[in-house]
Copies of this chain bind each other. A is one copy, B any other.
Amino acid sequence: MKQYIEQNRERFFEELFSILRIPSVSAKKEHKADMQRCAERLAELLLEAGADEAGVYPSTGNPVVFGQKITDPSLKTVLIYGHYDVQPAEPLEKWHSDPFEPVIHDGAIWGRGANDDKGQLFMHIKSFEYLVRTGKLKHNIKFMFEGEEEIGSPALPQWMKEHEDMLAADICLVSDTTMISEKVPSINCGMRGLAYLEVKVTGPDKDLHSGHYGGAVANPINVLCDMVSSLIDKDGKVTVKGFYDKVVELSDEDRAQFARAPFDLEEYKEFLDIAQVKGEKGYSTMERTGIRPCLDVCGIWGGYTGEGAKTVLPSEAHAKISMRLVPDQSSEEITRLFKEHFLSMAPEYVKVEVKAFKGGDGFLIPISSPAYKAAAKAMGEVYGIEPVPSRGGGSIPVLAEMQKILGIDPLLMGFGLERDTIHSPNESYLLSQFFAGMESIVLFYEYYQE
């Protein structure tokens, strides 16, 4: 594969850039046409790479790309999952270059989606191309790329139910996660779930002069701050009633095992430029993102946010609140508990509304499976060191649903790194990881044959 990459390097970049240039931001309705365009381009790339068939399938949301090559029904079938939608690029002013005009410098590809997930799913198309063109393909391969992962995959479960037979496979291979570091390859064997809500606090029905009314009328921003502040107590615990009821507590032995993964707190703080970490009392930083749930405000707004000093007592204040969940917290239940909790604490002098977005459950993957072992062997060979099992703090909510609907376990071979700052300005993907990823995938197929 190394030589193949060498020979086709420039073409790989050209093809990848053709999808990175499409601003397929699923969170914004204005990008509807870009979603279609991106999906069509991917189907084209699958056919060019050697798929027997590939097409753009309508769903109740953004279209799904499906393509396949059936080599021999008696061979193992691998379903590749990926997503072609990306996070919004805002704040735009923090990007060093246009988020949708990818560039290569400092040994990395820079642009929105360079890693998450266009860059990572592209590795699978090219590994597949290599196997087809060199006659080494010994599997049936199916590709399923959705366009709504970043908004919680609202349409995919239904679509999977409607195409259950077409999607039948032995394993679902996913590259949409990070490794601990270049020197410490890891395979994700668990992810957190997600609940995401937007809250709105309304005080007076119009913006008021803060001099005429200030002190006598509840200010919705102050009230929202009070309410948000009360959601986490002084020990870093989420106060939503019932939040921890279903959380699986790890045994001391499991925690000890977990603590073996290398982690340097000083490096971590330096990377983030923070003087101190903060989280739930009694847990380490790795545990706080790996095995514990949490609550974060992802956005807040209200009143005058422009230049200068406008004196206003605003009518409304808003916040977007996400909760990361662990087994066995149900996203649906936590969403309901949050709603009840937040509405119940609304003081009588304001009106409170809560709107829920699509979330998803967390999941765990057995490390004893043949697929996990094949992945570990492949990556061990490429990186020269055995990968460690890890738990990702992020969420790919639809994978838990896939387990339920299709009965297929996911295998998370992710090649992202912390430094890639996905979801943030200046997202990037290291070329060395891009190439090592393709090599690992090709080797995975070699070892995943039984």
A289 and chain B: residue at smallest CB distance:
B216
Q: CA separation between A384 and B239, bound complex, in Å?
A: 59
Question: What's the minimum C-beta distance from A361 to chain B, rounded to whole angstroms?
Answer: 14
* A4 CB–B CB distance under 8 Å: no
Contact with B along A208-223 (1 / 0, CB 8 A): 1111111111110110
Q: How far is the CA of A426 from the CA of B423 in the complex (A)?
A: 38
Residue of B nearest to A280 (CB): B215
A59 located at the interface, meaning its Cβ lies under 8 Å from any Cβ of chain B in the complex: no
A393 within 8 A of B: yes
Alpha-carbon gap, A152 to B311, bound state (A): 10
Which residue of B295, B320, B422 is within 8 Å of A309 (Cβ)?
A: B320
Residue from A87, A308, A318, A426 whose CB has the most chain B CB atoms within 10 Å: A308
**Bitwise interface map of A from 62 to 78 toward B, beta carbon under 8 Å scored 1, else 0:** 00000000000000000
Please give the number of chain A residues whose Cβ is less than 8 angstroms from any Cβ of chain B in the complex. 103
Of A97-105, A106-114, A270-278, the stretch lying at the interface with chain B is: A270-278
Taking the complex as formed, is A402 at the interface, i.e. its CB lies under 8 A from any CB of chain B? Answer: no
Interface of A toward B, CB cutoff 8 Å: 26-29, 87-88, 90-91, 94, 150-152, 178, 191-192, 194, 196, 198, 203-219, 221-222, 224-226, 228-232, 272-280, 285, 288-289, 292-314, 317-320, 322, 324, 347-350, 357-358, 392-395, 418, 421-426
- Name 13 interchain pairs, CB-CB below 8 A, sorted by A: A27-B310, A87-B311, A87-B312, A90-B304, A91-B207, A94-B206, A152-B309, A204-B273, A213-B289, A215-B293, A216-B288, A222-B228, A226-B229
